[in-house]
A = this chain, B = another copy of it.
Amino acid sequence: MKRIGEMTSEFGVTARTLRYYEELGLLSPVRTEGGSRQYPPADIARMKLIERGKRYGFSLEEIKEMILLFDKDRSGRVQLERTIRYGDEKLEEIDERIRELEDMREELTALRAKFAKKLNQTEGGNG
């Protein structure tokens, strides 16, 4: 159980940010008798998910959905099937993103080669 200060240094965010995430239902710290927040391991795992989600341009609302997906202990058949379908969708999205990134990678590599060649031709020249 970590206090808010430890969380801020661990994740490089401000206390305001952690409280805001709690306000949105992304985090669920418990409280000490005095009222201070105590973040359980689950919240640390959630923060890692949030970090990643943000890097990929998801809104906090979308990230919340994902957290629910990872979190919920779904027991009903229908719920399970629904979860699996949702997960499959996310998998496809991820695959699509990987493909795109690989395309970008190729483009950048080609561009790099072009510049490197140009640099060789400029060898001994001036700026």
Residues of B within 8 A of A75 (CB): 118, 122, 127
Partner of A101, one of B79, B87, B101, B108: B101
A75 to B125, CA, bound (A): 11
Interface string of A78-108 (1 = CB under 8 A from B): 1111011001101100110110111011001
Q: Are A91 and B78 CB-contacts (below 8 A) given A84-B116, A98-B101, A119-B84?
A: no
Interface residues on A, range: 35 or more
Residue of B nearest to A103 (CB): B52
* A interface SS class: helix
Q: What is the total number of copies of this protein in its complex?
A: 2
Q: What's the least CB distance linking A60 to chain B, in Å?
A: 12
Residue of B nearest to A87 (CB): B112
Q: List 29 A-B contacts (CB under 8 A).
A: A52-B104, A55-B56, A55-B57, A55-B97, A55-B100, A56-B56, A56-B57, A56-B101, A70-B111, A74-B115, A77-B125, A77-B126, A78-B127, A80-B115, A80-B122, A81-B119, A83-B115, A84-B115, A87-B108, A87-B115, A88-B112, A91-B105, A91-B108, A91-B112, A94-B101, A94-B108, A95-B105, A98-B102, A98-B105
